[in-house]
Amino acid sequence: MLDKPVILVTGASRGIGKAIALRFAQAGFACALTARNAAKLQETAQQVTEAGAPQTLVIPADLTRDADIDRLARTVLEQWGKVDVLVNNAGVLFLKPFTELSIEEFDQMMAVNMRAVFLLTQKIVPGMISRRTGTIINIASLAGKNGFKNGTGYGATKWALRGWASSLMLELREYDVRVITIFPGSVNTDMAGQLPSAPLPETRLQPEDVAHAAFQAYVLPQRAMMSEIDLRPSNPKKG
């Protein structure tokens, strides 16, 4: 088993996932990184190594495929023997009126935003329970607490994630495993750029803000857990 702390981040090739990987790399974590884009993932791996990660694993995967999720978890556990922090960050957004949203688009959002989270966490949690330590960080969205126009499919996945995470937290706390869910507002990423209601880029949250919140929640004493974090732009401005 690796003698360094291990973090596994989904959607690590850009945006929030990349920022979280970099922040934990600075703290000396070995980083297991996954996303669909292998080239972008390699760029992230190079940067987390430069930031201080003692070891890095790059595992391209399509989280809509059960076999890829199984391979991802198996590779990390076989190579390093454990996962100390699991970050469920990968997400898909189709922003459309309800009557125009296809069932294929809905299924893809549900597959990545919820089903993959369920499956991957289920493969990682037994090791955390047996070692009586671990942290699961879910990147949700304020869309999981508030509805928004043309967000019926995406919002449904994030409300589902919130319900799942709040129940899982109650199950795992007796094993000293923490479940933390972050609900960011508008973040300056490619996904936020799809939202016509998004504030000006310079007044949005930055991916590093979410990474900072994730790390601060992690470094709290074991006796303390921020189970939910609402993270909003302090003064968003529209164009």
Summarize the chain as % helix, strand, coil (round to 5).
50, 15, 35
% of the chain exceeding 70 in pLDDT: 95
Residue 14: predicted pLDDT: 96
**pLDDT, average across residues 160-179:** 98
- What mean pLDDT comes out for the span 2-28? 97
- The confidence band for 239, taking pLDDT boundaries of 50, 70 and 90, is low
What value, to the nearest 5°, has the Cα angle with vertex 78 and ends 83 and 31? 40
pLDDT for residue 195? 65
Q: 152 CB contacts (<8 Å, ≥6 apart)?
A: 98, 101
CATH no. for residue 182? 3.40.50.720
Which amino acid belongs to residue 207?
P
Q: Is residue 239, in this structure, part of any structural domain at all?
A: no
CB atoms < 10 A from the CB of 180, how many?
23
Q: How many CA atoms lie within 13 A of 142 on its CB side?
A: 13
| Domain region containing 108 | 6-231
Q: How far apart are CA 180 and CA 97, in angstroms?
A: 31
**Which residues lie closer than 8 Å to 49 by C-beta, 6 or more apart?**
25, 56
Distance (Å, whole) CA 174 – CA 178? 9
Give a yes or no: residue 238 inside a domain. no
pTM of the model: 0.94
Residue 92 within a domain: yes
Query: Could you write out the three-class secondary structure of 40-109?
Result: HHHHHHHHHHHHCCCCEEECCCCCCCHHHHHHHHHHHHHHHCCCCEEEECCCCCCCCCHHHCCHHHHHHH
Q: Considering only 87-101, 148-162, 225-239, which range has the smallest mean pLDDT? A: 225-239
What does the pLDDT look like over 125-169, one tens digit per residue?
999 999 999 999 999 999 999 998 999 999 999 999 999 999 999
- Looking at the structure of the chain, the number of domains it has is 1
Tell me which of 236 and 170 has the higher pLDDT: 170
pLDDT at 192: 63
Residue 1 lies in a domain: no
Q: How far is CA 154 from the centre of its chain?
A: 15
For residue 237, being part of any structural domain is answered with no
Predicted confidence band of residue 187 (pLDDT cuts 50, 70, 90): confident
Please check whether residue 83 is in contact with residue 32, taking contact to mean a CB–CB distance below 8 angstroms: yes
- Tokens 């297991």: give the residue: 32
Domain assignment present for 236: no
